[in-house]
Structure 1
Amino acid sequence: MLNTRYAAGAPIWVDLGTPDPERVNAFYRSLFGWEFQSGGPEVGGYSLYQTDGKTVAGVMTVAAEQAPPAWMIYFKTPDADATGKAVEQAGGGTVYEAMDVGDLGRMGVFTDAQGVGFAVWQPGTNKGLDLVDAPNSLVWTELCTPDIEAAKEFYGSVFGWGSSTASFAEGSYTMVHPAGGTEDDMFGGLWSLSDSPEEAEGGPYWIPYFQVADMDAVLAKVEPSGGTVRVARMDLAGVGSFAKLADPCGARFALMQPEAPSAG
């Protein structure tokens, strides 16, 4: 799972682009208890979601005509410019070239060879999210892609990711970890769009999973708070429970409640 040691190539930040922050702030506060910390003009109004004073995500206003509401996942890089070149060489594209964000760090936004958007973060004074792999914070990431093998090749080339495949009664699942890591360092999975009919209309994308302590209690709040349950709760023995949602503006994300460790 994720950790705040943030190895190169691992998820280090996540943020929400939405046309209506006020509307979705209330939604995420209802689900996760997140507090909204408004950013000043020096950061273009870029704001934070926090729990117990710890930053768990960012949020910014993105007009509907600019881009659809969406969560963006950032992967750590020691050199955003070099990563941008690696993306181009691997058949990806550049949305925003690497740029400084004050003294906070350096970022770039790209697309992979299948057209899926992702971002990179080269830390400055901002070393990454304060809290991960804990209730109400980022716990997992997943790429819904039309071609798992092509995705493995692309991200392996850009970040050096390693991978392994786990088999379950329902099929198999490909998981990824940072270069030099092991299965204990897995932070994300690759899932075929052909196995996800609910994703067909929206197309391929990266989806963040946020950990919850009580899946049913959180799911009960989704629709009354204006969201949508896109995929109902699923339970996987030895792993935990999952559900896929959309917030009131349509940004897609997921929940995960890890299975409690067995006693003894």
Structure 2
Amino acid sequence: MKVTEISPGSPCWTQLSTSDVEAAKKFYGQLFGWTAETDPRPEVGGYTTFQLDGAPVAAVAPLMDPRQPIRWMLSFESKDIDATTAAAKKAGAQVWMEPMDVLDIGRWSLLSDPTGAAFSLWQAGKFAGFGVVEEPNTFAWIDLATRDRAGALKFYRDVFGWEVTDDPTYPQVGLNGKQFGGVMDMGADFPDEMPAHWNPFFLVTDVDAVAEKAKQLGGGILHGPEDTPMEHGPRIAVLHDGQSAPFGIFSTQRKS
């Protein structure tokens, strides 16, 4: 689906921070068929946009600090990033980087919610975010793993006005009647030292084939592949790339 407008509070972009940009370009290029376009301006530090058929789908950048975790980051759309950042702080967020201009591309801020999950806000300038979503090999879902699901849901309701389903095990979130993500409790399967975190999920046509290909490319499987227990739910897997950054994939085609 070509993206023509992104509603405030919706996911608008996902970016990988990694220790090896060249390896990431190769891994995701072979896994999803993405092409990489690196901004040549020295002031953007090698920021690279992934494209599929000419449309922007994600990005990769070097770590800003060697202590920074290697992982995917989600950005949410804001029409007034200063006001949204202030609202998030009032609701209990930690603001790591106050709103700043990114050349003429847009404005950006970095936060973590009250449960510890990091995310960023984006106010579009010349760049709005996703050019295509919900097509094979593109972004299509977000997933929050947290130890305080009620607290997280309250925060995102207060800041973004998210609508939340009443599913007791995996409440789904969205805006304007369209769901775009879900929130899960971090149980005993998660190490104690692992913080709450967001993961992007990419739509694929064959979860099992993509999971196997990720292994062949030097990545691995963290969970699945498996059919979700919900009726008519998707088949999913959580993978990691060669630098151990986790991400999800799913397909509407089930095995059972």
Q: TM-score range by the shorter chain?
A: over 0.9
Query: Is the deviation greater in 46-55 or in 36-45?
Result: 36-45
Deviation, 1:201, is 4.9
Query: Which residue is equivalent to 2:184?
Result: 191
For residues 67 and 48 of structure 2, what CA distance do their matches in structure 1 show? Answer: 19
Which of 215, 222, 228 matches 2:207?
215
For the 8 Å contact 2:73–2:120, the answer to whether it is kept is yes
Shift of 1:242: 0.3
Report matched runs for 1:104-143 at 5 Å: 104-143=105-144
**Mind listing any 5+ residue stretches in structure 2 that lack a counterpart?**
none
Give the match for residue 256 of structure 1.
Answer: 250
Partners of 1:127 and 1:62 in 2: CA distance? 23
Quote how far apart the aligned CAs of 1:200 are.
5.0
CA deviation vs aligned residue, 1:64-122 (integer Å, no higher than 9, x gap):
62301110000001111111111111111111100111221111110100111000111
CA distance in 1, matches of 2:39, 2:162: 34
**Which amino acid letter does the alignment assign opposite residue 191 of structure 1?**
M
Q: Secondary structure at the match of 2:212?
A: helix
Runs of 4+ in 1 over 4 A off after TM superposition: 1-4, 198-201
SS of residue paired to 1:166: coil
- 1:253 is aligned with what amino acid? F
1:17 aligns with 2:17: yes
Deviation per residue, 1:210-245 (Å, 9 max, x gap): 110111221111111110100021113412110001
Q: CA RMSD in A?
A: 1.9
Q: Which amino acid aligns with 1:173?
A: Y
SS of the equivalent of 1:55 reads strand
Q: What is aligned with 1:164?
A: 165
Distance in 1 between residues matched to 2:54 and 2:65, nearest whole Å: 30
Q: Residue in 1 aligned with 2:53? A: 52
Distance in 2 of aligned mates of 1:212 and 1:87:
33
Specify which of 170, 174, 181 is matched with residue 171 of structure 2: 174
| Percent identity of equivalent pairs | 35
After TM superposition, the structure 1 stretch with the greater mean CA deviation from structure 2, 65-74 or 196-205, is 196-205
Tell me, what secondary structure is at the counterpart of 1:197? Answer: coil
Q: Is the 8 A contact 2:17 2:71 kept in 1?
A: yes
Q: Please state how far the C-alpha of 1:157 moved relative to its aligned partner.
A: 1.2
- In the aligned structure 2, how far is the partner of 1:84 from the partner of 1:73? 15
Q: TM-score, normalised by structure 1?
A: 0.89
Contact 2:2/2:132 (CA < 8 Å) preserved in 1? no
